[in-house]
Structure 1
Amino acid sequence: MQTIKIDLVSDIACPWCAIGYARLQQALSTLPQIPVELEWHAFELNPDKNAPQEPILPALSRKYGRSEQEMAENQAQMMKIAADLGLNFTKLQQRYTCNTFDGHRLVKWAASQQKADEMKLALFNAYFGEAKNVADHQVLAECAEQAGLDKTKAARILASNDYIDEVNDDIAKYKQAGISSVPAFIINNQYLISGAQEPKQLATALLQIASEMT
């Protein structure tokens, strides 16, 4: 059977991206007969690197025009969904807004070491589970170490201009393609699945696509 290529456009600061990836993994576990190649691509929910960091609940309240209580309830529901998927969202409501550009750079490097999934999961855990500042280079280097990568090499990359062009290219490419929200799953460069769909829905879609490839 031919390999299905999944380009996953996401942001480290997006809780639904972590949930979407976990649901994808659940879907794939029911489809062992379908080989899949997954590639992560960068998206920035907070692209201004100079914006001051602020507590997430008032930031979301202002962004969506809803009360902080409503946003807290929304986040609490996400925490329940995440727990059922084995994700650590313990401090989802204690985190601060932050820019994720440098984190995306490390994901690009991790991909060259076949560790992109591990890097992304370490970043999700640091931000949603521990409310760490994933714009901070020390935090990012520690995440790289947790992902099985060399912490010193990660620090050197962060201090350099490595992978800046690759991340910028990702952001520009998918913005031009009309991707305005994440997660976005692009299958075989032909099909778009938007949002963190349930595992059963993802599995059904992937089966249909696989059948059309034979």
Structure 2
Amino acid sequence: MDPKVNVQMVFDIPCVWSYFTYARLQRALAHFRSGGGRAELTFRPYQLVPDATVEGRLNVDVLRHAFGDDAEHSIGRIAALASDEGLTFHPERAVHSNTFHAHRLIAVASAQGCGEDMAERLFRAHHTDQLNLADLDTLKTLAAEIGVGWSDEGIARTREALESTRRLGVHGIPILQFEDRPALTGTPSEDSLLAALHSAVGRRRVAPRFTTTDRRPS
């Protein structure tokens, strides 16, 4: 039996590139596992806006503040790219809020063997369903959908995980690392991710050394 491949992902849920990459990674993992491969995905939390409010703001307002007159073009481009990935995005109606407890919920779900499903549901809740992921009642409902037992624990561990990621010097997400292979940034293709899984089989495990380059597809 081949050893289990350790995959680490640095991400934040509102990040569209994180969702695109995660969707591709899930397809690559499904292909890899269907052929007998074994892989474990570890989520490393990152917050694009750590001081975002619990109440949240409409994402369209955030985009207009960031891009001005180009906001509508950015919204249309994001929706079109999502459609190409087989995803449904409503970027203009998404709620831009604090993701601390959403990251904590993924850690809780991972401990229960449901981390990947929980992450996918949270991505979809934000980008498709326009839910406020800082609202604890919303998170409890989403956890129940996946079969995750809700817990109020893990606050200190989540803070430590966020600080650990910060100390790595991360400035751009998403980032993926497959064992000791060089970290991948941006939005690698599904084929590239599948190749990375196969090449990582049998590699030695080392502490992550993520790149800090913030690259985006053109």
Fold-level match, TM-score > 0.5?
Answer: yes
- 1:78 and 1:49, CA in 2 relative to 1: closer, same or farther beyond 3 A? closer
CA distance in 2, matches of 1:33, 1:79: 35
Check conservation: 2:54, 2:135, Cα contact below 8 A: no
Aligned residue pair count = 201
Q: Which amino acid aligns with 2:177?
A: I
Task: Report SS of the residue matched to 1:182.
Answer: coil
RMSD: 2.3
CA distance in 2, matches of 1:29, 1:52: 36
Equivalent residues of 1:19, 1:196 under 8 A apart? yes
For 1:122 and 1:211, the matched residues in 2 are separated by 31
What is the 5 A alignment of 1:197-212?
197-210=188-201
Distance verdict in 2 for CA 1:30–1:205, change over 3 Å: same
Equivalent-residue separation in structure 2 for 1:77 and 1:52 (angstroms)? 27
Query: Does 2:183 align with 1:192?
Result: yes
Q: Does 1:175 align with 2:155?
A: no
TM-score by length of 2: 0.81
- Would you tell me which structure has more helix in proportion to its own residues? 1
Amino acid at match of 2:80: K
Residue 52 of structure 1: CA displacement?
A: 6.3
On the 8 A contact 1:108/1:166 being kept in 2, the answer is no
Q: SS of 2:183's equivalent? A: strand
Which digits, 9 at most, give the CA deviation of each residue in 1:135-163, with x for residues without a partner?
Answer: 1111111111121224xxx2xx3xx4x11
For residues 109 and 28 of structure 1, what CA distance do their matches in structure 2 show? 21
Spell out, residue by residue over 1:72-127, the C-alpha distance to the aligned partner (whole angstroms, 9 max, x if none): 333333323333434332x2221231001011111111111111111111111211
Q: Partners in 1 of 2:201 and 2:74 — Cα distance?
A: 35
SS in structure 1 at match of 2:144: helix
Contact 1:19–1:82 (Cα < 8 Å) also in 2: yes
* Contact persistence 1:5–1:38 (CA under 8 A): yes
Alpha-carbon distance in structure 2 between the residues aligned to 1:51 and 1:132: 12
Q: Distance in 2 between matches of 1:166 and 1:88?
A: 32
Task: Indicate yes or no: 2:130 matched with 1:139.
Answer: no
- Aligned mates of 2:53, 2:131 — CA distance in 1: 18
Instruction: Give the CA deviation at 1:192.
Output: 0.8
TM-score by length of structure 1 reads 0.82
Return the letter of the residue paired with 1:98.
Answer: S
Partner of 2:209: none
Cα pair 2:179 2:203 within 8 Å, conserved: no
Query: 5+ residue gaps in structure 2?
Result: 205-218
Alignment partner, residue 45 of structure 1: 48
Q: Unaligned regions of 5+ residues in structure 1, if any?
A: none
Identity %: 24
1:1-214 aligned at under 5 Å gives the runs 1-31=2-32, 32-50=35-53, 53-63=56-66, 66-68=67-69, 70-89=70-89, 91-150=90-149, 154=150, 157=151, 160=152, 162-210=153-201
